[in-house]
Amino acid sequence: MPALSSGPAVAFEQVGKHYGDAAAIDGVSLTIAAGTFVALVGASGSGKSTLLKTVNRLVVPDRGRVLLDARDVADGPAPALRRRIGYVFQDVGLFPHLSVAENIALPLRLAGTPDAAHAMAMLDLVELPRAVATRMPAELSGGQRQRVGVARALVTRPGLLLMDEPFGALDPVTRESLAGAVKRLHDELALTTIMVTHDMAEALLLATRVIVMAAGRVVADEPPAALLAGAGGTAAQALVAVPRAQATRLAALST
């Protein structure tokens, strides 16, 4: 892997988004330092996905703005912005009419810098055998598909990786393995990563900063250790209680 990228800092300034009368995001302000791995945690409808998508303009906020290294994402055309940002989501969205290699190489084609060898190297990076390059997406397992999704998202060497429930549809073993791979990529590529998840355990284990959302607002913003130590308020602690209780029960079973 040549020249490691260093991710941008991300800032949300009073970002709001309404659907009809309902506020999906209600005036969120955050600053995320370059190189952070942030987990956005919350129940369904808490606004975490909507907030994530304001970064690559899949959602356009009604008010406020989002800055990448102090530059407003709303400046310039959306496709140019999105080519600088890796995006991985639960349904993966591999192009079913293209082979694995073509899927991974497509962002390079869009950028006008096709590089088949680099696309193949991405397979190594996400720990897939090169033999899958010629396969069609329908021939892959769910875990393999999401690995291809990650490879496609990172092939243009973006500094920022957005992930929306990236492991939500995977079995626990695959999930664990892929989460490890993502964490490693985050470190190796010096990415800024924002991951949306409803799984507090996943957030605590992967992220360096956990932001809890409820009803479109940020209700807690702590490092994992602080959350485990009881910080962040009741909503956050209710979420932390679930994996903790599970861990306790598991420990009780083994004694």
Partner 1 sequence: MSDAFARVPALAAQHLLLAMAALALALVIGVPVAIRAARAPRLAGAVLGFASLVQTIPSLALLALFYPALLWIGHGVPALGFLPALLALTLYALLPIARNIVTGLRGLDPAVLEAADGIGMTRAQKLRLVELPLVLPIAMAGVRTAAVWTIGAATLSTTVGQPSLGDLIFAGLQTQAWTLVIAGCVGAAGLALGVDLLLGVAERAAGERRWKRAGAALLLLVAATAAASTPLWRGGGERRVVVGAKNFSEQYILARLIGDRLTRAGYAVTYRDGLGSAVAFGAVAGGEVDVYVDYAGTIWTAEMHRADTPPHAEQLSAIADWVQKSRGVTLLGALGFENAYAFAMRGDDAQRRGIGTLDDLVRVAPQLRFGADLEFLDRPEWAAIRRANPLRFASATPYAPTFMYRALESGRADVISAFSSDGRIAADRLTVLADPRHAIPGYDAIVLVAPAHRKDARFLDALRPLIGRIPVAAMREANYRVDRDRDKQSPEAAARWLAARIGL
Cα distances from 5 to residues 10, 13, 35, 229, in angstroms, run 15, 25, 10, 34
Asked if 171 contacts 19 with a C-beta cutoff of 8 angstroms, the reply is no
Give the residue carrying structure tokens 């303009």: 57
Q: Which is nearer to partner 1, 51 or 210 (CB)?
A: 51
Least separation in angstroms between residue 101's CB and partner 1 is: 14
Nearer to partner 1, 40 or 235 (CB): 40
CB closer to partner 1 out of 4 and 78:
78
Note the maximum CA span of the chain.
60
Q: Which two tokens mark 46?
A: 């808490």
* Cβ at position 143, least distance to partner 1 in Å: 16
CB of 86 to partner 1, least distance (A): 9
Instruction: Name which of 53 and 175 has its Cβ closer to partner 1.
Output: 53
List the 217-222 sheet strands across, edge first: 85-89, 160-164, 192-197, 37-41, 209-214, 217-222
Question: What minimum distance in Å lies between the beta carbon of 118 and partner 1?
Answer: 15
Least distance (Å) between residue 79 CB and partner 1: 4
Nearer to partner 1, 12 or 89 (CB): 89
**Which residues make up the interface to partner 1 (CB under 8 A)?**
56, 58, 77-83, 87, 89, 91-97, 106-107, 110, 149, 152-153
Q: 66-101: buried (b, 16+ CB within 10 Å) or exposed (e) per residue?
A: bbbeeeebeeeeeeebbbbbbbbbbebebeeeebbb
Question: Counting Cβ atoms within 10 Å, is residue 206 exposed (0-12), middle (13-18) or buried (19+)?
Answer: buried
Closest by CA position to 248, among listed 220, 228, 233: 228
Q: Which is nearer to partner 1, 80 or 225 (CB)?
A: 80
Q: How far is the CB of 252 from partner 1 (least distance, A)?
A: 41
